[in-house]
Amino acid sequence: MKMPLQVDAITDAHPKQIIAKGEAVITAGSSTDMAYYLLSGTAKGQLKGVDGQNFVSGHVVSLVSFLGLEAYDNNVIATSPCEVLVMPRLLIEHHWSDEDSTSWVFACSMAADAIKKYQALTKDYSVVMV
């Protein structure tokens, strides 16, 4: 998913990580107090051993989890060498709220609803499969 703010102006002020192919960009269970923006490279989410969403340069990695959860719910593995901009939650919240004071709350609420629906669907599916 594309970043809802202009990252060009903030890339020098925040740390970047270089992540080798096959290494974790995000580890399941790590706090969502930081957002990870792919400056270059590609990555893929892994949902309990199943391939998930693909991420490419210009995407915030696992944005829905970042917005709706206190901890990331899946691993994201680099599928090529990646340069990742690491930004604190408060920075994104501040920039997003500058546009419209309710947009941050609305985005977080929508993300939480999407996660609840996804969890309900996967739970129901696993009951059917047993």
Q: Can you give the pLDDT at residue 23?
A: 97
Sign of CA pseudo-dihedral 99, 104, 109, 115: positive
Q: Can you give the pLDDT at residue 2?
A: 46
Q: Can you give the pLDDT at residue 109?
A: 85
Q: Can you give the pLDDT at residue 13?
A: 76
pLDDT string in tens for the chain (130-residue length): 445 556 666 666 778 899 999 999 999 999 999 999 999 999 999 876 556 889 999 888 988 899 899 999 889 999 999 999 998 988 888 877 776 777 778 888 888 888 787 766 666 554 444 4
Quote the radius of gyration of the chain (alpha carbons, Å): 15
Q: Can you give the pLDDT at residue 102?
A: 79
Euclidean distance between CA atoms 126 and 37, whole angstroms: 32
Nearest to 81 by CA among 38, 17, 21: 21
What is the model's pTM?
Answer: 0.77
DSSP H helical segments within the chain, as ranges? Answer: 63-68, 89-99, 103-129
Euclidean distance between CA atoms 113 and 7, whole angstroms: 27
Q: Can you give the pLDDT at residue 128?
A: 44
